[in-house]
Structure 1
């Protein structure tokens, strides 16, 4: 047995009972008093043991409510494939969403500018969605191959498959080959300009994990990689990149990434100091909130400017306004000393990107409806 799962989250459904829920396990509370009990252990194979859980959980004490939640869906699949699925972070789709959203901005804005039929953005949004899922997983595999030793020193990451030894580096490299082959299968559906542009992003993806060892700005490098779709989406639709629109859109996306990934890095800042990992969370320190506020304003200003250059209508600007409100809410409410709060902030930043897309999509929908 490897480690005791200790992470708990507040369950709003049971607030009146002052209960706390532990994912995929049980915990006993009597009003504000926690009743000590052993919780679920994780096998060295990386999946949970139902029979062990049954043996460890004692009968509920009198007058105490037990809250039990189901195990993660990945754990219901065959044990031999579970480590590979966890390696791709498929159980945490927010990473795929954050990679996908800049693609949606660019595809939708290009379709708006070129007055394309609705089948054009639908086709490319589907292709890029598939590509984002595959390449986000490939990026995680590359990251974990680089960081397998560092991950052992960080509480949040020490259970990752490579850090735990659930799969070997050789197996991970073979799996990475499959992922990149699948990604190439999506990429070759695009025009040659886009194929070359998309392939060039791999150099940025590959060096990102190394950056956290030599600079306090690895989040900026991640921004270069995660917002490549702001360029690639336009070239897929138009056959080339409209740099006057796409460069401010790309730069705005990078600022957005700096915001959400700095919040993400605040989860691990104490462990990062010990492990020698650098991040903007450590660099900004006590000034994180005002710096991220400035980056948020820069992000939305650049995206709005890109929309202006593209001749976007009122719905687009409404979308950016909603994105700004979302980022302001996140920065106002986040406790940077609490890991759970930082994770919620990270996820919350994704909604800002979603509202930008909804604004662009509403613009395109009105345009397409007027052409019918």
Structure 2
């Protein structure tokens, strides 16, 4: 099987052997690449806070049959909304992407896709996301509409702030509130605190990711926490990792869960924390492949927490 690096029009950081590059019809590949289907880690990082939100909601009020739909609805929504967001990002960054080695093969700067086609593709994905959102209740619908604001702003953040990773975190962790609201038809303190915890986690993992482009970003004047932190990055990451774990611990307690369920949730959080510590130990600021591998490993960190929060929520059936 050919790897992404052996396929001339593949994007550099695509997953080797991904089905878009190896099996998808050639005329579909530019659009699937716009949606980052060849790089699914972003979809996972958007989805997992949603699943955190369902777990927290079950911990607060017990499981509901409707949760059996919220879980897959969030998965569908994560695919299409991440795709729409990435398409928008590529539309706004089409000139910058052509100047960066990692992104110059993206569909727009490489000419694989047209600007008009990208707008149509984005609209189609948004329409699918809206159809899913309409099944989740009034509170979730309003939160879904509001989520478009940080999505629209994020691509421009690196032009005016050293902290674009915070803007990414605002958008990528919105789902913890949306999914919680879909279960409970409203919000309380737990998902809001978890949202802030997720933002800290995003600064952690996306700073690692941004180190791949730090030299190019400096040349073209694009800002990031990777450039801001520089060689002090490990200390900053330790602080943001600790902040994420602390806020998520507060969020778990804010659900009101106690007894064995609390211990299960906290065990998941400690495993999540251990994964962040492992990433810090393994981090090499001068090895792009190391940074990409650690960034992708955050799917496992987030999944560990999602599974344990879901289990803690299910335990409320017995309480």
User: Normalised by the shorter chain, which TM-score bucket?
Assistant: over 0.9
Count the aligned residue pairs: 310
Say which of 39, 42, 50 aligns to 1:103: 50
Deviation by residue 1:312-345 (Cα, 9 ceiling, x = unmatched): 3100000000001000000111111111000111
CA distance in 1, matches of 2:17, 2:269: 38
TM-superposed deviation, 1:120:
2.6
- 2-structure distance, mates of 1:305, 1:324: 14
For structure 2, list consecutive stretches of 5 or more residues without a partner in the other structure. none
The answer on 1:363 being equivalent to 2:312 is yes
Name which one, 1 or 2, has greater alpha-carbon Rg: 1
| Residue pair 1:110, 1:238 contacting (<8 A) in 2 also | yes
Partner SS, residue 153 of structure 1: coil
Q: Which residue of structure 2 aligns with residue 23 of structure 1?
A: 3
Matched, 1:252 2:192: no
For the pair 1:331 / 2:280, whether they are aligned, the reply is yes
Alignment correspondent of 1:84:
31
Tell me the C-alpha RMSD between the 2 structures: 1.8
Q: Distance in 1 between matches of 2:275 and 2:10?
A: 36
CA distance in 2, matches of 1:241, 1:248: 11
- Residue in 2 that maps onto 1:169: 115
CA distance in 1, matches of 2:104, 2:215: 14
**Residue aligning to 2:77:** 131
Give the CA deviation at 1:134.
0.6
TM-score (norm 1): 0.80
Q: Does 1:232 align with 2:189?
A: no
The match for 1:277 is 222
Q: 1:245 and 1:47 mapped to 2: Cα distance?
A: 42
In 2: Cα distance, 1:316 partner to 1:285 partner: 34
Are 1:290 and 2:235 an aligned pair? yes
Q: Which has the higher contact order (CA 8 A, sep 6+)?
A: 2
Rounded to whole Å, the distance in 1 between the matches of 2:310 and 2:7 is 46
Judge conservation of contact 1:106–1:246 (CA < 8 Å) in 2.
Answer: yes
SS at structure 2 position matched to 1:89: coil
Verify the 8 A CA contact 2:59 2:316 in the aligned structure 1.
yes
Aligned-pair distance for 1:77?
2.1
Residue 213 of structure 1: aligned partner: 159
Name 1:14's counterpart in structure 2: none
Mapped to 2, the partners of 1:105 and 1:115 lie a distance apart of 14
Q: CA deviation at 1:23?
A: 2.9
**TM-score between the two structures when normalised by the length of structure 2:** 0.93
Partner of 2:134: 188
C-alpha distance 84-107 of structure 1, shift in aligned 2 (>3 A): same
Native 8 Å contact 1:47 1:79 kept in 2? no
Q: Distance in 2 between matches of 1:100 and 1:139?
A: 14
SS of corresponding position for 1:232:
helix
Q: Structure 1 or 2: larger strand share?
A: 1
Corresponding position of 1:144: 90
Structure with greater proportional helix content: 2
